[in-house]
Amino acid sequence: MAEGQEVPNKQVVLKRYVTGFPTEDDMEVVAGIARLAVPPGTPGLVLKNLYLSCDPYMRGRMTKHDPPSYVADFVPGEVLENFGVSKVIASGHPDFEVGDLVWGVTGWEEYSFAPKPESFFKINHPDLPLSYYTGILGMTGLTAWAAFFDVGKPKKGDYVFVSAASGAVGQLAKLTGCYVVGSVGSDEKVNLLKTKFGFDDAFNYKKEPDLDAALKRYFPEGIDIYFENVGGQMLDAVLLNMRKHGRIPVVGMISQYNLKKPEGLSNAIMILAKQLLVEGFLVFDHFVKYRKFEEEMVGFIKEGKISCVEDIADGLEKAPAALIGLFSGKNIGKQLVVVARE
Amino acid sequence: MAEGQEVPNKQVVLKRYVTGFPTEDDMEVVAGIARLAVPPGTPGLVLKNLYLSCDPYMRGRMTKHDPPSYVADFVPGEVLENFGVSKVIASGHPDFEVGDLVWGVTGWEEYSFAPKPESFFKINHPDLPLSYYTGILGMTGLTAWAAFFDVGKPKKGDYVFVSAASGAVGQLAKLTGCYVVGSVGSDEKVNLLKTKFGFDDAFNYKKEPDLDAALKRYFPEGIDIYFENVGGQMLDAVLLNMRKHGRIPVVGMISQYNLKKPEGLSNAIMILAKQLLVEGFLVFDHFVKYRKFEEEMVGFIKEGKISCVEDIADGLEKAPAALIGLFSGKNIGKQLVVVARE
């Protein structure tokens, strides 16, 4: 493919700002055009996008924020973006060559122009499935690893509870010698946690009318670390069941993203009574640790100590449905979209 | 007074467990008897109580907790207890002599028997008002100092907001070079903060129908450290106004102690969006730092860098009203009860 040629470029654009639960119709797949050249004198990259990650935090970007949120809002009529795996097909930057495999924030489209190449990581282990760099070896894996170890400060024997637990955290906790229980939204996922991921126990929160009672059953001694992905009623029930000096890394609150009015949290006083540490964690400040994380996690994967389950949507046309599916828990394991395999 | 003699001993006892707002009638001042001798072969102290501290956390102890709370519930029919300043009048412990001035947890009565002398600190600076050891040099001062510096991690130029702000924290923040605003419940206290305590600004929260708007007015750049004493709606408004990586040491939530159902916290998602650290702080684990704290705070007081305002109720009979007054904000400055002056 000659550099500089213009090619069709399928794109996923936001149609309108969203309130409440997003639908596929809030997005549109359109036929764009990409020019496969770096503008002369600029240091950017032209990327062919291979795998795109679907992440719950994207919901926040579909709403207009004033004042601005921690990450820029999407713009109606413009292409969505998120972390993904791409191949460099034209480079204006000395550190990147045509053919390099990279991961970073790219467009929900077939080809993207990346004006800031330094925000991309080269993929050091292309012998592993490239798609892993959308999840377990990408943004969500780094989030799990850094938030669990830096904020959670796990010790052997700690009681660890993970909500929306089909990611890496529970497995990292098991490797650390913790007692680990996860909550998920289907019996199939419960089975995944108990058989493939090695959790000590797991439950389907949709079958638990009383979350406090469920947690008391699974953690009669209480919880040392709650890895928070969901917020709302689950957090409220967890607060009642934390142990003294427990830690709560907060990396997501997916149950709240589509509510017009958040659920009120009633048990905040437990933060005081139990001397809890609750800390919000966003990955953006932690990319400096990426190479250390990558080597450690690659080691775990190659030794078979960490398993990764992926839910792969095939083609950009499926991207809107894949993203929406996160909020009903349709996906089993990491949800991603394959745009092209190489 | 001969050791071993029996003397009348006025006492404040809890009449019944409390629900909702406590009243004076939930307590009773009764005529007891004290025997001024240490039982032979035991290491206890007989204390003459001089000053007793009134602290909001005592409200929690007036309710029956199952499972137990972080501190033992009071028992109906038994004497209340809390931090106070006492004089040793009989000692079975080699480290304590008759005449020593100490502070620690003692009974709300004229004379107490302390079976565990090692839980008391000797008062190293009796040249300062002894009553200071119920507050600025006692439990609440240590709480302010350790929670502000250890959890708040203040830096020069930080924007600091303190609720129920008539204690030491705001002054410590000013000494650290922070910009400090406090909220209190009367114009008289606003005046105290601005004139005597050197706050940059202060407001009467009872005159602010929209706390979010008030905080935006006082902190157009946002808040780096919120020193949390009150909880509820104030915390909810503060969460909207925190800056990225802000810290919230939680040492009290006085607005919630008398509610049958806590106010729901709506803005917990800000903990994530702003990467906040929220940490509950109870002083019990921090007494190991007391001597360092005492010397530093005594230095500040003697140099005139920290002022202390006390609200002194005269006599045990006034103790129930003094305690209840905390919850309507009747007190100006540290509320304490003088039982005897020497």
How near does any CA of chain A get to the CA of B42, in Å? 33
Confidence (pLDDT) at A300: 97
Q: What is the pLDDT of residues A202-253, one digit of tens each?
A: 999 999 999 999 999 999 999 999 999 999 999 999 999 999 999 999 999 9
Decide if B70 and A256 are in contact by the 8 Å CB cutoff. Answer: no
Question: Is pLDDT of A1 > 70?
Answer: no
Mean pLDDT of B152-158: 98
Q: Is residue A295 part of a domain?
A: no
Q: Which of B261, B269, B279 sits opposite A277 (nearest CB)?
A: B279
The CATH number that applies at residue A170 is 3.40.50.720
As a whole number of angstroms, the distance between CA B117 and CA B115 comes to 6
Give percent of chain B above pLDDT 70. Answer: 99
Residues B70 and B159 reside in one and the same domain: no
Q: Is residue B84 part of a domain?
A: yes
For chain A, first and last CA: distance in Å? 14
Q: Is residue A301 part of a domain?
A: no
- Number of DSSP helices (H) and strands (E) in chain A, helices first: 9, 15
Residues B114 and B147 reside in one and the same domain: no
**DSSP 3-state helix, strand, coil percentages of chain A (rounded to 5)?**
30, 30, 40
Q: How remote is the C-alpha of B154 from its chain's centroid?
A: 21
Residues A313 and A253 reside in one and the same domain: no
Mean pLDDT of B251-258: 91
The CATH number that applies at residue A120 is 3.90.180.10
Q: Is residue A112 part of a domain?
A: yes
- Chain B's closest residue to A241, CA to CA, is B67
Interface with B, mutate which of A70, A215, A234, A278 (most B CBs under 10 A) = A278
- Report the run of H or E that residue B316 belongs to, with start and end: none
Question: Is pLDDT of A3 > 60?
Answer: no
Total domains in the fold of chain B: 2
Residues B163 and B277 reside in one and the same domain: yes
Q: What is the pLDDT of residues B270-285, one digit of tens each?
A: 999 999 999 999 999 9
DSSP letters, B55-85, are: -TTHHHHTS--SS--SSPPP-TTSB-EEEEE
Q: How confident is the model at residue B140 (pLDDT cuts 50, 70, 90)?
A: very high
Decide if B272 and A250 are in contact by the 8 Å CB cutoff. Answer: yes
User: Mean pLDDT of all residues in chain B?
Assistant: 96
Question: Is pLDDT of A306 > 90?
Answer: yes
CA distances from B221 to A279, B238, B267 (A): 21, 13, 19
Residues A162 and A125 reside in one and the same domain: no
Decide if A278 and B277 are in contact by the 8 Å CB cutoff. Answer: yes
Residues B145 and B273 reside in one and the same domain: yes
Residues A155 and A279 reside in one and the same domain: yes
Decide if B276 and A276 are in contact by the 8 Å CB cutoff. Answer: no
Mean pLDDT of B67-93: 96
Mean pLDDT of B50-60: 96
Decide if B231 and A261 are in contact by the 8 Å CB cutoff. Answer: no
The answer to whether residues B63 and B126 touch, using CB atoms and an 8 Å cutoff, is: no
Decide if B273 and A70 are in contact by the 8 Å CB cutoff. Answer: yes
SS3 for chain A is: CCCCCEEEEEEEEECCCCCCCCCHHHEEEEEEEEECCCCCCCCCEEEEEEEEECCCCHHHHCCCCCCCCCCCCCCCCCECEEEEEEEEEEECCCCCCCCCEEEEEEECECEEEECCHHHCEECCCCCCCHHHHHCCCCHHHHHHHHHHHHHCCCCCCCEEEEECCCCCHHHHHHHCCCEEEEEECCHHHHHHHHHHCCCCEEEEHHHCCCHHHHHHHHCCCCEEEEEECCCHHHHHHHHHHEEEEEEEEECCCHHHCCCCCCCCECCCHHHHHCCCEEEECCHHHHHHHHHHHHHHHHHHHHCCCCCCCEEEEECHHHHHHHHHHHHHCCCCCEEEEECCCC
Residues B125 and B144 reside in one and the same domain: no
Tell which of B247, B268, B284 closes a domain: B284
- The SS3 assignment for A78 reads coil
Q: Is residue B330 part of a domain?
A: yes
Residues A119 and A154 reside in one and the same domain: no
Decide if A264 and B267 are in contact by the 8 Å CB cutoff. Answer: no
Interface with A, mutate which of B272, B275, B281 (most A CBs under 10 A) = B272
Give percent of chain B above pLDDT 90. Answer: 92
Residues B19 and B66 reside in one and the same domain: yes
Residues B143 and B276 reside in one and the same domain: yes
Q: Is residue A292 part of a domain?
A: no
The answer to whether residues A173 and A160 touch, using CB atoms and an 8 Å cutoff, is: yes
As a whole number of angstroms, the distance between CA B226 and CA B246 comes to 8
Mean pLDDT of A290-316: 97
Q: Is residue B52 part of a domain?
A: yes
- Chain A's closest residue to B254, CA to CA, is A269
- Chain B's closest residue to A275, CA to CA, is B280
The answer to whether residues A2 and A79 touch, using CB atoms and an 8 Å cutoff, is: no
Which residues constitute the domain of residue B127?
A: 6-135+308-338
Residues B153 and B279 reside in one and the same domain: yes
User: Mean pLDDT of all residues in chain A?
Assistant: 96
Q: What is the CA radius of gyration of chain A?
A: 21
- Chain A's closest residue to B243, CA to CA, is A70
Q: How confident is the model at residue B3 (pLDDT cuts 50, 70, 90)?
A: low
Residues of A in CB contact (< 8 Å) with B are 60, 69-70, 231, 235, 244, 250-253, 256, 261-282, 285
Q: Is residue B293 part of a domain?
A: no
